[in-house]
């Protein structure tokens, strides 16, 4: 006989997220960096929490695999130490904060989005897209989240997709520059251009400077949606967590622009959370598609078979998928511009 226990897990899923988000807001894991231990009694001074809330929070974080018991206190697990301590290279807290502050409450109205097919985090009547804003708070929050997700995803991409023969990479909609930074770190012979809106390029340029890669990574301001094409002079065009934001005709047009911009033998790389061919999962890709309903006008997550068909229609050959495990993508679909 089946039991409703799995359904209870779905019902209470937000409990886990909000507990996690509260711990990040309190900077719990940063305070415990380097192997420090905190007891319930010490949490009053460290976190400003009374006894009962401190006990409940520490116990819950341990149950989620974020803390582990050590003597009469708690310390970071390896996962928390690596990804939830501010200042660490792959700090993931930006994504947690963004979802907590910007998307959590709009998700409460998901039924409205399903009925109207309109985004809930911005108003299409006043903006061209969710990216068309100069609001400093939104920019800091969104691009901090994207950097958190993208930097480790780029590391996984670099390990699984062979770019060793490439010299010039164009990161279309490169945002905060995380992909360009991580790929150039791992491939000394690679240089890159981040192509994005002017106010976004300013953010990328700052991150590139902080990474000490200003001599190898440039930024070029432009709008890949309204322009006539993409900048030339690159042998790889990368769409990293970009195409899920847009509808099928837009993506087909972008892939045609990539084909035109590449030399013979050049490659296009699409890094995404890919659906399987029969559209039954995986859950991370399917639920990201639901999030596109909340945050975009036409976006959704696609299968590698759909991307392969669009690449073939644009003229690419040698189309194949490479699978990997990362927070922002589970694989990459690659196509090659043929010679002659």
Which residues are part of the catalytic machinery? 244
Q: Are 295 and 119 in contact (CB under 8 A)?
A: yes
Residue 202, helix vs strand vs coil: helix
CA distance 259 to 253: 10
* Backbone phi, psi, residue 260, to 5°: -65, -35
In sequence order, what DSSP letters do the residues of 79-137 get, joined into one string? HHHHHSSTTSTT--HHHHHHIIIIIHHHHTTHHHHHHH---SSS-TTT-SSTT----HH
Q: Are 333 and 274 in contact (CB under 8 A)?
A: yes
Q: Which two tokens stand for residue 332?
A: 């990459």
CA distance 225 to 173: 10
Q: In which residue are the tokens 């164009």 written?
A: 170
Q: Are 206 and 214 in contact (CB under 8 A)?
A: no
CA distance 157 to 187: 12
Q: Are 31 and 81 in contact (CB under 8 A)?
A: no
Measured in whole angstroms, the distance separating CA 207 from the mean position of its chain's CA atoms is 16
CA distance 132 to 146: 16
């Amino acid at each position: 006989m089946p039991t409703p226990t799995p359904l209870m897990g779905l019902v209470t899923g937000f409990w886990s997220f909000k507990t996690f988000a509260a711990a990040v807001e309190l900077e719990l894991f940063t305070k415990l960096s380097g192997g420090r231990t905190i007891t319930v009694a010490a949490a009053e001074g460290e976190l400003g929490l009374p006894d009962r809330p401190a006990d409940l929070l520490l116990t819950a974080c341990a149950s989620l695999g974020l803390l582990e018991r050590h003597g009469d206190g708690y310390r970071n697990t390896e996962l928390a130490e690596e990804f939830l301590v501010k200042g660490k290279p792959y700090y993931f807290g930006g994504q947690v904060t963004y979802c907590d502050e910007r998307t959590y409450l709009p998700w409460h109205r998901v039924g409205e989005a399903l009925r109207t097919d309109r985004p809930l985090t911005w108003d299409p009547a006043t903006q061209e897209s969710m990216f068309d804003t100069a609001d400093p708070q939104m920019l800091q929050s969104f691009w901090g989240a994207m950097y958190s997700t993208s930097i480790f995803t780029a590391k996984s991409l670099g390990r699984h997709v062979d770019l060793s023969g490439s010299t010039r990479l164009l990161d279309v909609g490169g945002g905060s520059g995380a992909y360009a930074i991580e790929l150039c770190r791992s491939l000394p012979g690679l240089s890159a251009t981040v192509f994005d809106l002017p106010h976004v390029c300013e953010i990328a340029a700052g991150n590139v400077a902080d990474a000490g890669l200003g001599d190898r990574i440039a930024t070029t301001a432009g709008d890949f949606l309204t322009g006539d094409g993409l900048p030339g002079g690159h042998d790889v065009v990368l769409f990293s967590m970009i195409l899920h934001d847009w509808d099928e005709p837009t993506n087909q047009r972008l892939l045609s622009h990539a084909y035109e911009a590449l030399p013979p033998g050049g490659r296009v790389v699409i890094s995404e959370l890919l659906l399987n061919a029969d559209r039954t999962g995986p859950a991370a890709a399917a639920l990201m598609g639901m999030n596109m309903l909340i945050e975009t006008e036409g976006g959704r997550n696609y299968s590698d078979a759909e991307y392969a068909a669009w690449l073939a229609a644009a003229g690419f050959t040698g189309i194949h998928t490479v699978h990997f495990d990362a927070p922002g993508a589970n694989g990459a679909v690659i196509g090659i511009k043929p010679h002659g």
